[in-house]
Every structure is written in C-alpha cells, then in structure tokens.
Structure 1
Amino acid sequence: MDILNGLATILTSPAMMGWVVLAALVGMIVGAIPGLTASAAIAMLLPITFYMDPLAALAFLYVIGKSGRYGGSIAAILFNTPGTAASAATQIDGYPLSKRGMSSKAMKVATISSVIGDFTGEIMLIAGVGIIAAIALKLGPPELFAVYFAAFVVIGSVIGKSIVKGLASAALGVLVKTVGIDPITTSERFTFGSYDLQGGIALVPLMIGIFVLGEVFTQIESKGGKVEQFGEPDSDEARARNRLSWTEYKPCVPHVIRSSFIGAFIGILPGLGSAIAAFVAYGEGKRRAKNPEKWGKGALEGVAAPEAANNAVSGPSMAPLLTLGIPGSTIGAIMVGVFLIHGIQVGPTLFLVQRELVYSLFAAGLIGIAAYGLIGYYGAALVGRFILQIPTRVLYPLIFLTAFIAAYASRSSLFDVWIMVIAGFGGWLMKKLDFNPAAFVISFVLAGGAEETFRQSLLLSDQGVLIFVTRPVALLFLVIGFAAVFMRVRSLSQQAKTASLGDA
C-alpha cells in the first residue's frame, strides 16, 4: 500500500515526473562520458537541490545515480572506454560487437538487462527495507557503533587493490571529519587557529573536489589519442543487423536473472559496489555458459550479465543508508548530504517520521528505471554520437566552471572553493598512489555517527570499551569486521600464490 501511494504521488505531479525524466536523461549522458561518473554528476548538482522540495531533490539525484550506472555501458560499447568502473565488464563483449557493426544491438541488450536488474534490486529494497528498519530500531549505541566499525573495516579492506591503502584511506576520512569543534567538550580540533575550520570541513565542496576535479585531473593526465568509434552505416542491411529478436535475447535471460540477484546481494553489503558485482556476474555467467569460448569475442550474454548485476546494486545499496545511516556506496554518501540539507535524519526512525517520503522515493526510482529504459532503448546510439562530438577542450573547462560555481553556491564561501581545489588534488593524488577516494568519502560521512555512538556507549558503561564485547549483537558485528579483513587477506594471498605459480 505504501508503494502504491508513492506511485500516485509521483504520477499525479507533472513537476515530479519532469524531474524524474530529466534525471534519467542527465544520468545517462554523464554516465556515458568517459571519466565522469554518476557520483560526479550528483556532487555537482547537489547545490541545486538546496532550493527544491525534499522529495524532488532526492528523487532527482537518486534517478541520476540509477541511469548513470546504465549510461556507462554506452561508452564501453561504442568507444571501448568504460564510462564507469562497472562498465569495464560490459566492454569485454560489447566493443567486439560494435566492431562487427552491431553496437545498437549490444546497447539494446544492455538496456533491457539493466532495466530488469534495476527493477529486481528496487523490488527487493521495497520488500525488505521495512524489516531491516524494524530490527535497527532495537539496536542501542553499542550495537550501532559496532555496525559503524564493521562498515569502516569492510569498506577499507574490500575497496581497492591494497588492504593497507584502503584502511588508510578510511582512516584519513575519519581524521578529516574530526576537524572543527568537539561536540561535547567544545574544544578546537585540528583548526590551527583558523576561524573557517571551526565549523569543520563541509561535505559538498569536499565531494565535488574528490569526485569531479579529481576525475578531471586524472582524465587530463591520461588523455590519449582520438577515440575510435565503430558506427553502423545508415542502410537497410545495418538496421536489420541491429534488430534484436526474442530468439537472440532468450539465451540471455538465465544470466540476467542470476546476475540480478548477485548484484542485489552485493548491493546490500557496504563498500563492494557495482564494479565488483559486474565482474562477479560476468565470471559466473562465463563459467555456466554453454559456449564459454564465445565470451570475450562478442557474446550478447557477456553484455547482459554484467549490466544486470551492475544496475541491481542500485536499490539494495540504499538499504544500509536508510535504515542505519550507513552509506553502502559513494552515491549513498552523497545522498546523505541531500537528506541533511533538508533537515531529514537518516536511520531507523526515518520510517517512523518520513515513511511517505521514503516510499515516494522508491516509486520515483521505479519510474526512473522505466524512463531511462525507454530513452536508452531508442536513443542510446544518439547519446553516444552526441558525446563523441563534444571536444575535450570544451568539456573539461565547462566541468571546471560548473564545479567552482557549485562549491561556492553551497554556502557562498570562497573558503569552500579552496577546500574543493585541495580535495580535487587530493583525489587525483589518491588515485595515482592507489589509495581509495571512495573509502575516504564514505568514512568521512560515517565518522560523525560513529563518534556519537562510541561516546554514548562509554557513558552507558562502567566497563569502558568492554561493553562492545559483553553485548552479543555488538560482538557479532565486530567479528564480522575482523572476518572480512581475514577473508580479504586470504584471498589476496591466494591470488599472489596463483600468480607466482603461473610465472613459474
């Protein structure tokens, strides 16, 4: 009933429908631009939402995140340059299809699979998020801190190639968050006598710097030659070659269903993200394929599997954010800022005080999936050709200008612009040194809640930190965190051993 009321709220409002459709188009275009992610688009557009209705603001950015994940497949198929990290798996079979003059067919497969995966994830979110919230309401400060701790450890150890650098990135995010006035003692922390730092580091300019300027600096540094595109000639034969029949798509269906559930499960786990989901689904699909030797050479199933998993992550990744206040992805971390800007506290009580808004947001997600599906099925090739015609000498300066305006507009502060620039160079340097900007930002967002619950836990206890061991649920989450690190270390050591045997 809640979701039906949410659908009615969106469908009966022309303004809301307009924002949702616009978000579907904007996300697709940004996702298809190599080097620009949906996270970057959301970070840049965040200041615009200051002046919007809370539901419109949340729906607009939420749908951009969804369509942006899908949009990465356009660049991967057409240009052999994945628009997002998750699209690298789609590129393996998508680009060979494009070279054979079947890019439109490949994009149709990607579109249908993305829509099915996204719908699966969104339905699972709608069905399960209320149950998770009800359980979360029963957790006290010690249990919540243990959840935060597990999230820090899992995110730091799983994201990226190096456990040490991942955990260091997460720790740096926590350290930067402590800048400002201590909320309990009111003493200054790491302000170095600066009045501007007493209020702490603002989230919006920090994210714009990390995700937008950092990406632009990386792209400028690694800019190669001209992108090669294999388009189809405008002929009857080319159009016939790119028609997608049910007979051709039918073998993809088992892969899409399996990959949708793989992506949805991975989406619930903080920090893993759509890139891991896409490659896991691709590997599992190839292992189960009837003709695995065709994968990597232009198999339609090789496009369908990663795209379904990639987009199935979108909905479930919101579950830990909405129920516990823990963002499961970089997009979730940015969404926290939107909630806070509009005075909405994320966490289990959200379903008690803002239930209608939450389910209306889910409804906007469902409509957004349908919108980008229709636009993508009929217009993905046009979007690709449009992006190819934009010269980088125009694109990057425009992104720079937009980023500076967005950083200044958040609080009308030049200090925030400097924060953005410093964060931009920091994001670029972190990528260059194989540290993880995503782990840094997510930890920055989590640190405030973690500190609050940690201090509340100590006030409740006469045993000090032992309270986290004597509470069974808290102990369980601590064990999960350490187990995640152990499993990651074991996995990396096995990979290193396998590589050394291969070299021998």
Structure 2
Amino acid sequence: MDILIGLANVLTDPIILAWVFAAAIVGMIVGAIPGLTASAAIAMLVPLTFYMEPLSALAFLYVIGKSGRYGGSIAAILFNTPGTAASAATQLDGYPLAQKGQASKAMKVATISSVIGDFFGEIVLIVGVAWIAAVALHLGPPELFAIYLTAFVVIGSVIGKSVLKGLASAALGVVIKMVGLDPVTGAERFTFGITELMDGVSLVPLMIGIFVLAEVFEQVAKRSDPVQMVDEPDDQTARDRNRLTWVEFRPCLPHILRSSVIGTVIGILPGLGSTIAAFVAYGEGKRRAKNPEAWGKGALEGVAAPEAANNAVSGPSMAPLLTLGIPGSTIGAILVGVFLIHGIQIGPTLFVTSRELIYSLFACGLIGIVMYGLIGYYGAAFVGRFIARVPTDILYPIIMLTSVMSAYVSRGSLFDVGVMILFGIVGWGMKRFDFNPAAFVISFVLAGGAEEAFRQSLRLSDAGILIFVTRPIALAFLLIGIFVLVSRVRSLRARPVDAALDDA
C-alpha cells in the first residue's frame, strides 16, 4: 500500500518525473565515460540539490546512481574500457561481441539484464526495509556501536587488495571526522587554530576531492588517448545481425535470475558493492554454463550475468543506510549528506517520521529503472558515439571547473575549495598506493554516529567497555566482524592477491 501511495505521488508530479528523467540520462552518460563514476557525478551535483525539494533532490541523485551503474556497460562494450569498475566483468564478453559486429545486440542484453536485476533488488528493498527498520528500533546504543564497528572492519578489510591498507583507510576517515569541536565537552580537536575547522571538515568538498578531483589527476597523469569506438555499419545486414531474438535471449534468463539474487545479497552487506557482485556472478555463471569455453569470447550470457548482479546491488545497498544510518556503498555515503542537508534524520525512526517520502523515493527508483531501460535499449549506441566525439582535453578541464564551483557553492567558502584540492591529492595518492578511497569516505560518514553511540553506551554501563560483550546482540555483531576479518586474511594468505582479484 505504501509503495502505491508513493507511485501516485510521483506520477502526478511532473517536476519530480522531469528530475527522474534527467537523472536517467545524466547517469547513463557519466557511467559511460571511462574513468568517471556515478559517485563522482553525484558528488559534483550535490550542491545543486540544496535548492530542490527533498524528494526531487534525493530522487535525482538516487536514479543517477542506478543509471550510472548501467552506463558503465556502454563503455565496456563499445570502447573496451569499463566505464565503472563493475563493468569490467561485462567487458570480458561485451567487447568481443562488438568486434564481431554485434555491439547493439550486446547492449540490448546488458540493458534488459540491468533492468531485471535492478527491479529485483528494488522490490526486495521495498518489501524488506520496513521490517529491518522495525527490528532496528529495538536496538540500543551498545548494539548500534557494535554494528558501526563491524561495518568499519568489514568495509576496511573486504574492499581492496590489502586488509591492512583497507583498515588504515577506514581509520583515516574516522580521524578526519574527529576534526572540530568535541560534541560533549566543546573542546577543539585537530583544528590547529584554524577557525574554519571548528565546524569540522565539510562532507561535500571532501567527497568532490576524493571522487572527482582525484580521478581528474589520475587521467591527466595517464595522458590517455581518446577512446576509440568500434565502428559498426548502419545497413540492413548490420541491423539483422544485431536483432535480439527470443531463442538467443532465453539461455540468458537463468543467469539473470541467479545473478539478481547474488547482487541483492551482496548489496545488503555494507561495503562489498557492485564490483564484487559482478565478478562473483560472472564466475558462478561461467561455472554453471553449458558451454563455459565460449565465455570470454563473446557469449551473451557473459554480458547478462554481471550486468544483472551489478544493478541488483543498487536497491539493497540502501537498506543499511535507511534503517541503521550505515551506507552500504559510496553512493549511499553521499546520500547521507543530502538527507542531512534537507533536515531528514536517517535511521530506524525514518520510517516513522518520513515514511511517505521514503516510499515515494522507492517509486522514483522504479520509474527511473524503466526510463533508463527504454533510453538505453534504443539509444545506448547514440550515447557511445556522443562520448567518443568529446575530446578528453576538453572534458576533464570542464569537470575540474565544475568541481571548483560545486565545492565553493556548498558554503560559499574558498576554504572549502582548498579542502577539495587537498583531498583530491589525498585521493589520488590513495589510488596510487592501493589504499581505499571508498572505505575512507564511508568511515568518515559513519564516525559521527559511532562516536555518539559509544559515548551513550559508556553512560549506560557501570562496567565500562565490557557492556559490548555482555549484550548478546552487540557481542554477535562483534564476532561477525572478527570472523570476516580472519576469513579475509586467511583467503589472501592462501593465494596471491592478483589471483584472488582475477577470480573475484
């Protein structure tokens, strides 16, 4: 019933529909640009949402995240350069199909698979999120802190090549969040006498620096050549070759359904993300395939499996964010800031105070899936041609200028522009030395809530820190974190890192 009310609210509001449509196009274009991710686009566009209604702002950025995940497949298939990390799995079979003159067929399979996977994940979110929130309402500060701590450990240890560097990235995020005034005593922490730091490090310029500016620095350092698109003749023979028939698509369906489940499960777990989901689904699909030797040489199923899993992550990754205030992805971490900017407190009480808004946001997600699906099915090749014509020596200066404007507009402060540049350098350095920017940003967002829960827990207890082991639920989450950390360390010791990444 709630989702029907949400759909009615959205479908009767042309302004929201316009923002959702714009988001579907923007996300697809950004996702298809090699090196530029949906997270980067959302970070740059956050200041624009300051002047929008809450639902329009959240829907705009939420749908960009969805269509951006799908857009990465366009670059993977046409340019042999994944637009996002997750689409690297799609590239394995997508580009060989393009070389055979079947790029349009591959993109049609990618589009349908993305839509089905995204719909599956969104429905699971809609059905299950209220139940999770109801359970979360009964959690006290000790349980919440244990969940936060487990999230730090899982995010830091699972994302990236090195457990130690991942945990260091997460720890750095916590330290940076502590800059400013102590929320209890009012004492200055790590401000070094700089007045602008008394309110802490602003989230918007930090995210723009980490996600956008760092990527610009990386592309400039590479000085990569312009992307080359696979040329495909536009004649009747080519159109016949790219017509997708039911006989060709039917073998893809079991892979799509299985991968949708894989992506949904992985999406619920904080920090794992669409890249791991795509490669797990690809590996599982190849293992179960009737002709596994065809995978990697241009199998349609090899496009369908990773794309379904990649997009199925989108909806479920919002569950820990909306119910516990724990972002399950970098996009979720950015959306935390948007919720707070519009005065919406995320967490279990969100479904009590803003229930209609949340289900309207879910409705926007469903409509956005339909929109990017239709646009992608009929217009993905046009998007690819458009991107191929934009010179990189024009594109990245424009991105740089937009980043500066976005960082300044957030609070009208040149100091924030400096913060953006500083964290752009930090983000670039983290990429160069295999630290993890995503773990850093998610931990930065989580640290405030974790500190509050920790201090509240100590006030509730006469036993001090032992309260976290005397409460069964808190202890259970701590043990889960330890188990994940030990398992990750053992898996990396059992085989070389490179092999582990190849098999992921």
TM-score by length of 2: 0.98
Match of residue 407 from structure 2: 407
Report Cα offsets for 1:435-481 as digits up to 9, x if no partner: 00000000000000000000000000000000000000000000011
Shift of 1:340: 0.3
Aligned partner of residue 394 in structure 1, secondary structure: helix
Tell me if structure 1 keeps the 8 A contact 2:226–2:388: no
Q: Distance in 2 between matches of 1:281 and 1:310?
A: 9
Shift of 1:216: 1.0
Report Cα offsets for 1:162-198 as digits up to 9, x if no partner: 0000000000000000000000011000000110111
Match of residue 92 from structure 2: 92
Tell me if structure 2 keeps the 8 A contact 1:180–1:200: yes
Tell me if structure 2 keeps the 8 A contact 1:267–1:314: yes
Tell me if structure 2 keeps the 8 A contact 1:79–1:227: yes
2:368 counterpart of 1:384: no
Match of residue 117 from structure 1: 117
Match of residue 394 from structure 2: 394
Shift of 1:497: 9.9
Report Cα offsets for 1:102-161 as digits up to 9, x if no partner: 100000000000000000000000000011000000000000000000000000000000
Aligned residues: 500
Structure 2 counterpart of 1:207, which letter? M
Match of residue 303 from structure 1: 303
Match of residue 172 from structure 1: 172
Q: Distance in 2 between matches of 1:342 and 1:8?
A: 23
Match of residue 75 from structure 1: 75
Match of residue 25 from structure 1: 25
Match of residue 334 from structure 1: 334
Tell me if structure 1 keeps the 8 A contact 2:118–2:308: yes
Q: Distance in 2 between matches of 1:417 and 1:229?
A: 36
Equivalent runs, 1:206-221 vs 2, <5 Å: 206-221=206-221
Q: Distance in 2 between matches of 1:498 and 1:449?
A: 35
Shift of 1:499: 6.4
Tell me if structure 1 keeps the 8 A contact 2:6–2:361: yes
Match of residue 279 from structure 2: 279
Q: Distance in 2 between matches of 1:334 and 1:385?
A: 30
Tell me if structure 1 keeps the 8 A contact 2:229–2:384: no
Tell me if structure 1 keeps the 8 A contact 2:267–2:313: yes
Tell me if structure 1 keeps the 8 A contact 2:92–2:302: yes
Match of residue 142 from structure 1: 142
Cα RMSD between the aligned structures?
1.1
Match of residue 34 from structure 1: 34
Q: Distance in 2 between matches of 1:224 and 1:173?
A: 31
Tell me if structure 1 keeps the 8 A contact 2:121–2:312: yes
Q: Distance in 2 between matches of 1:384 and 1:307?
A: 17
Structure 1 counterpart of 2:493, which letter? S
Report Cα offsets for 1:329-365 as digits up to 9, x if no partner: 0000000000000000000000000000000000000
Equivalent runs, 1:312-461 vs 2, <5 Å: 312-461=312-461
Structure 2 counterpart of 1:361, which letter? L
Q: Distance in 2 between matches of 1:357 and 1:124?
A: 18
Match of residue 128 from structure 2: 128
Structure 1 counterpart of 2:487, which letter? M
Tell me if structure 2 keeps the 8 A contact 1:95–1:298: yes
Tell me if structure 2 keeps the 8 A contact 1:77–1:103: yes
Structure 2 counterpart of 1:217, which letter? F
Tell me if structure 2 keeps the 8 A contact 1:103–1:231: no
2:2 counterpart of 1:6: no
Match of residue 233 from structure 1: 233
Shift in alpha-carbon separation, 1:226–1:55, aligned structure 2, 3 A: closer
Q: Distance in 2 between matches of 1:326 and 1:316?
A: 12
2:205 counterpart of 1:205: yes
Q: Tell me, which stretches of 5 or more residues in structure 1 are unaligned? A: none
Q: Distance in 2 between matches of 1:257 and 1:231?
A: 32
Tell me if structure 1 keeps the 8 A contact 2:229–2:385: no
Q: Distance in 2 between matches of 1:155 and 1:218?
A: 24
Tell me if structure 1 keeps the 8 A contact 2:182–2:189: yes
| % identical aligned pairs | 74
Q: Distance in 1 between matches of 2:228 and 2:44?
A: 29
Q: Distance in 2 between matches of 1:496 and 1:82?
A: 24
Shift of 1:491: 1.1
Tell me if structure 2 keeps the 8 A contact 1:182–1:189: yes
Shift in alpha-carbon separation, 1:497–1:265, aligned structure 2, 3 A: closer
Tell me if structure 1 keeps the 8 A contact 2:329–2:442: yes
Shift of 1:276: 0.1
Q: Distance in 1 between matches of 2:130 and 2:499?
A: 45
Match of residue 289 from structure 1: 289
2:495 counterpart of 1:495: yes
Shift of 1:222: 1.9
Structure 2 counterpart of 1:84, which letter? T
Q: Distance in 2 between matches of 1:315 and 1:23?
A: 16
Tell me if structure 1 keeps the 8 A contact 2:120–2:312: yes
Match of residue 182 from structure 2: 182
Q: Distance in 2 between matches of 1:97 and 1:493?
A: 37
Q: Distance in 1 between matches of 2:284 and 2:220?
A: 35
Tell me if structure 2 keeps the 8 A contact 1:268–1:320: yes
Q: Tell me, which stretches of 5 or more residues in structure 2 are unaligned? A: none
Q: Which moved more, 1:227-236 or 1:132-141?
A: 227-236
TM-score by length of 1: 0.98
Structure 2 counterpart of 1:481, which letter? G
Aligned partner of residue 161 in structure 1, secondary structure: coil
Shift in alpha-carbon separation, 1:24–1:243, aligned structure 2, 3 A: same
Shift of 1:226: 4.1
Q: Distance in 1 between matches of 2:225 and 2:414?
A: 36
Aligned partner of residue 147 in structure 1, secondary structure: helix
Aligned partner of residue 22 in structure 1, secondary structure: helix
Q: Which moved more, 1:289-298 or 1:219-228?
A: 219-228
Q: Distance in 1 between matches of 2:405 and 2:348?
A: 35
Structure 2 counterpart of 1:39, which letter? S
Q: Which moved more, 1:228-237 or 1:328-337?
A: 228-237
Shift of 1:228: 3.0
Match of residue 53 from structure 2: 53
Shift in alpha-carbon separation, 1:364–1:497, aligned structure 2, 3 A: closer
Aligned partner of residue 327 in structure 1, secondary structure: coil
Q: Distance in 1 between matches of 2:479 and 2:364?
A: 37
Tell me if structure 1 keeps the 8 A contact 2:277–2:310: yes
Shift of 1:41: 0.4
Structure 2 counterpart of 1:166, which letter? G
Shift of 1:224: 2.7
